[in-house]
Amino acid sequence: EVQLVESGGGLVQPGRSLKLSCAASGFTFSNYYMAWVRQAPTKGLEWVASITNSGGSTYYRDSVKGRFTISRDNAKSTLYLQMDSLRSEDTATYYCTREGYGDYFDYWGQGVMVTVSS
Amino acid sequence: DIVMTQGALPNPVPSGESASITCQSSKSLLHSNGKTYLNWYLQRPGQSPQFLIYWMSTRASGVSDRFSGSGSGTDFTLKISRVEAEDVGVYYCQQDLEFPLTFGSGTKLEIK
């Protein structure tokens, strides 16, 4: 059974940093692209970043480019999202997702809440 | 960026009836390889989204055949036949033709 378990969320002041982790199990992690998708309170879904299976290529939405870094450790089957210079508009539930053979999201974690507020 | 626009449903939908959710893209999602890069998800209340359909019309593993996807390059429909209580939630379309990957704003389904 595929499982994605996020951790690392919480309350953080604007301008500070936070690092999210996602522990994956139930599949061969190193074979799949992975991604982070977020959802602001009462809002819709928003893709944040993707990473290839080797970690050799990464993709970001413009609003987080230069502030967020997606990475992975295939030996640990773990996905990360380093979030720097956080803004109030980054407040959201962040979902770890597995990408299927296209850039669709076939499995989702339970989500982790990030609140950026002073 | 490709903008995804979803239509609303005339809620609530009577149980056992059909519901059709529409989604429109600002650019054709039909690739030269013949695949149309349009996907559908359902987010039930209080839950994470779940994957329903990819490449416009292919159901994900374990998804009921009451769900079917269709469309052209820019206009898409998710049809839910014989709606049930467990179908309640918000449905999202998403394009994966190009980055940035984008979602529609969601369509809420309520059942009577």
- How confident is the model over B8-48, as pLDDT tens digits? 998 899 999 999 999 999 999 999 999 999 999 999 999 99
pLDDT at B12: 93
pLDDT at B103: 98
The tokens of A93 are what? 């539930």
B81 vs B21: CA distance, rounded Å:
11
Q: Give the pLDDT confidence score for residue A103 in this predicted structure.
A: 86
HSE-up (13 A, CA, CB side) for residue A116: 18
Kindly state whether B22 is in contact with chain A, defined as any CB-CB distance less than 8 angstroms. no
Nearest to A45 among B50, B92, B99 (CB): B92
Cβ-based interface (< 8 Å): residues of A facing B: 35, 37, 44-47, 50, 59, 61-62, 95, 100, 102-111
Question: Once rounded to an integer, what is the mean pLDDT over residues B86-98?
Answer: 97
Average pLDDT rounded to a whole number, residues B76-99? 97
| CA distances (Å), origin A55, targets A52, A60, B17, B87 | 5, 13, 46, 36
Per-residue model confidence (pLDDT) at position B10: 87
Helix (H, G, I), strand (E, B) or coil at A31: helix
In angstroms, the Cα distances linking A110 to A61, A89, A116, B51, B102 are 22, 21, 20, 14, 21
B48: nearest CB among A61, A103, A111: A111
Q: Within 13 Å, how many C-alpha atoms sit on residue B47's CB side?
A: 16
B105/A104 Cβ within 8 A: no
CB B104 within 8 A of CB B57: no
Tens-level pLDDT at each residue, chain A (118 residues) = 999 999 999 999 999 999 999 999 999 999 999 999 999 999 999 999 999 999 999 999 999 999 999 999 999 999 999 999 999 999 999 999 999 988 899 999 999 999 999 9
Specify the pLDDT at position A69: 98
The shortest C-alpha distance from B21 to chain A (Å) reads 16
Taking CA–CA distances from B36, the nearest residue in chain A reads: A102
Q: Would you state the pLDDT for residue A118?
A: 95
Instruction: Give me the pLDDT at residue B58, please.
Output: 97
Mean pLDDT value across chain B: 97
